Amino acid sequence: MADSSQLATSLRRGTLEFCVLAMVETEDGYGNEIVRRLGEEPGLAAGEGTIYPLLSRMRRSGWLESKWVESPSGPPRRYYGLTGSGRAALDHFRTEWVSFRQTVDRLVGTGEAG
Amino acid sequence: MKTRQNDVVTAYLHEVDQRLAGIPVLQRRELLADLAAHIAAEQAERNLSSEGEVIEVLERLGSPDVVAAAAHEEAGTRPEPPTASRRSVWPWVALAVGVLLVLVFCSSALFLSRDSGSSVEGPVIAPPPSVQPS
């Protein structure tokens, strides 16, 4: 039990932030929306609330920018969007990830047959 | 009903906040504001009417421990041990203050008894015992 959640944590670390970047790549998203979508994916987030510190760190490191926008149906929403360096980081991750995944697949034997 | 919902939310935010000691104050405030905005938006947009529905929102956010642990990880700080160990300092402080008070009281009592002159209380300045051969 502890081992499997430890593995999920380790895999999440270093990849989750790029899932966030990809989610707001084409269109800004607001907190609840981002957090809900990540929460629906199995094994991605330990709790929706754990995404907010991540969003904060990504904003502080200059990958995301945020702004509060009035909402027609409730309190103001905080929208997040990609910055130039966020976009560059996402592009870089995509390249790295493909070769990393291929290497792991080859070594662990999880790749496509052949 | 509205106030009951808010009680649950206030308690949740307070419990998260208690676990954020050590995190820079602006990040701490930002997280609490983000969580409060998240809950308020869920309440408004999904028109939640019962306490149970609000608790469900809080459960999806994660326990205060889990949320605070994520905040510490992102901030590069260590979660402080729970308030119990912080509180355990206070008995020692109270004990030290108490001992100090007793000392001050005793020494002032000693001075007073000396000043009162004709002392019946011999043992304070007892004469050297003379050894008597039997």
Q: Give contacts of B25 with chain A, Cβ < 8 Å.
A: none
Closest CB from A48, A54, A75 relative to B40: A75
ipTM confidence score: 0.89
Tokens for B103? Answer: 């000392």
Contact A81, A23 (CB under 8 A): no
Cα distance between residue B107 and residue B34, in whole Å: 58
User: How far is residue A29's CA from residue A79's CA, in Å, rounded to a whole number?
Assistant: 5
Partner A contacted by B35 (CB < 8 A): yes
Mean pLDDT by 10 residues, chain A (114 residues): 76 92 96 94 88 97 96 92 98 97 95 66
Angle between helices A51-60 and B25-45 (to 10 degrees): 130
Q: For residue B131, what pLDDT is reported? A: 58
- pTM for this model (two decimals): 0.74
Residue A55 is predicted with a pLDDT of 97
- Measure CA A84 to chain center: 17
- Measured between alpha carbons, how far is A27 from B119 in angstroms, rounded to an integer? 92
Of the candidates A47, A71, A75, the beta carbon closest to that of B61 is on: A47
d(CA A62, CA A82): 9
Q: Which residues does chain B have with pLDDT short of 70? A: 1-3, 82-93, 115-134
- What pLDDT score was predicted for residue B122? 46
**B41 to A74: CB separation less than 8 angstroms, yes or no:** yes
Of residues B40, B41, B71, nearest to A53 (C-beta): B71
Q: pLDDT at position B48, please?
A: 87
What are the residues facing A82 on neighbouring strands? A64
HEC string of B65-77 equals: HHHHHHHHHHHCC
CA triplet A58, A61, A67: central angle to 5 degrees? Answer: 60
**Pairwise CB contact (< 8 Å): B60 & A48:** yes
Q: How far is Cα A108 from Cα A55, in angstroms, rounded to an integer?
A: 32
Q: Check if the beta carbon of residue A100 is closer than 8 Å to that of residue B56.
A: no
**What pLDDT shows up at residue A70?**
94
> Where is A64: in which H helix or E strand?
strand A64-71
Whether CATH 3.30.420.40 fits A2-108: no
Q: What is the per-residue pLDDT for B83?
A: 55
Q: Cα angle vertex B55, ends A59, B43, to 5°?
A: 65
Domain ranges of chain A: 2-108
